[in-house]
Amino acid sequence: MQIAILRKKYTFYGGAEGFSQALITQLAAEGHEIHIYAMQWEGNPATGIIFHKVPALSANSFLRDFSFAISSHRLLKKTRFDIIQSHDKTLYQDIYRAGDGCHIEWLRQRWKRTGLAGKLSMLLNPYHWLILGLERSIFTRHRYRKIIAISGMVKRDITKNYPVSVDDIVVIFNPVDIEKFHPANRDKYRQEIREQHGLREKDFVVLFVGSGFERKGVRYLLEAAEMLEEPVTIMIVGKGRGAKYQGIIKKQRVIFCGPQQRIERYYAAADAFVFPTIYEPFGNVHLEALASGLPVITTKASGASEIIENGVNGFVVQEPEDTRAIAEGMKKLYDGNTRHAMGIEARSLAEKFTFRRYTDEIMKLYNGIIAQKKEPRGR
């Protein structure tokens, strides 16, 4: 099978798109010919993976995304593949994977939570208009055979905002590396990371992982922590302006760790994972935490909330602004027996989201599209 994958930038190690790289490498190992169309790539690809450079302007995000969409359309129209799958908002594909969710819905959630200056910034930012235009073109002009939604939430957001049939959307949850993220990492890394940050074994540590602190709810996490009478240390891993939130912190300890490559070590050092996001299509960090044996607290605004069973492997709050509910969830996890029981359930849940399952679902989708292409016209 000849498969073309579109992504502006590919990195063959780590990162939020690690599952995509694993899928591509696995498909290539199974004998499929993989063609990647990208502006640039890093790392050494496996045998059977062929790169095609997409000429695009990179002066700013607007020009980058616009020129990538136009150039990739022009290149792919000249070739024939069994499957063309795009991981970005482009104009020519068999499968559009809505990994970033629905942009119009993210803007709606942000609009509700920002002041006049923020609203003006959103209205005057040409990048938002470009992404909305590309999104509208994909969905209203039917520039796909199938859409992959990475959660039921994303599927609902698309059908709510655009004239897309529910039959055109397949929900395929992301996988997680259950060997890399494992409860056994506690014995390997917990003491090292805790000592590195001046933490004792008995300290109750809550972890947050993510870049883009506003969207992912760092403010709500810190406000919830400040409601607790019991001491808690909040460990924040990711890229963002930590200084912006210093005014919230009064009595609890907050450690801004910055981005980390070997993130599995930080899950091992934590007791719980909290992610009070405003809008998150799914969030692989939820699965990484679950696989590491951590109970997860998240919001209904995350697609991952669909797999969390409240009170069993974590807690789901309705809105990120409900900081009291977030605080109550953390308070319950102070109890070591509760954490242990929920951690076992968390790991058990994560083990359902393997790469084998993910690859099987993707191949089923590919085969269905290929069969559809072979059908005589008019049927």
Integer Cα distance of 364 and 369 in angstroms: 9
pLDDT in tens, 233-251: 999 999 988 888 989 999 9
pLDDT at 162 > cutoff 70: yes
Q: Is the pLDDT of residue 13 over 60?
A: no
Q: How confident is the model at residue 15 (pLDDT cuts 50, 70, 90)?
A: very low
- Residue type (1 letter), 328: E
Q: What pTM was computed for the model? A: 0.92
**Taking residues 337-358, what's their average pLDDT?**
96
Place 28 in a pLDDT band, splitting at 50, 70 and 90.
Answer: confident
> What is the average per-residue pLDDT within 202-212?
95
CA-closest candidate to residue 238, choices 253, 254, 222, 256: 256
Q: Percentage helix, strand, coil, to 5, in the chain?
A: 45, 20, 35
Mean pLDDT of 368-379: 75
List Cβ neighbours of 28 (8 Å cut-off, separation of 6 or more): 34, 46, 47, 48, 49
Place of tokens 């993130």: 263
Among residues 145, 146, 144, 171, which one has the least CA distance to residue 156?
A: 171
> pLDDT tens digit string along 77-91?
999 999 999 999 999
The reported pLDDT for the residue numbered 45 is 64
The whole-number average pLDDT for the span 329-344 is 96
Average pLDDT, the chain: 92
Phi and psi, residue 3, nearest 5°: -125, 130
pLDDT greater than 80 at residue 375: no
Dist. CA 372–CA 379, nearest whole Å: 10
Q: Which domains does the chain have, with CATH numbers?
A: 2-175+354-372 (3.40.50.2000), 185-350 (3.40.50.2000)
**Residue 1 clears pLDDT 70, i.e. is over it:** yes
Question: What pLDDT score does 26 carry?
Answer: 82
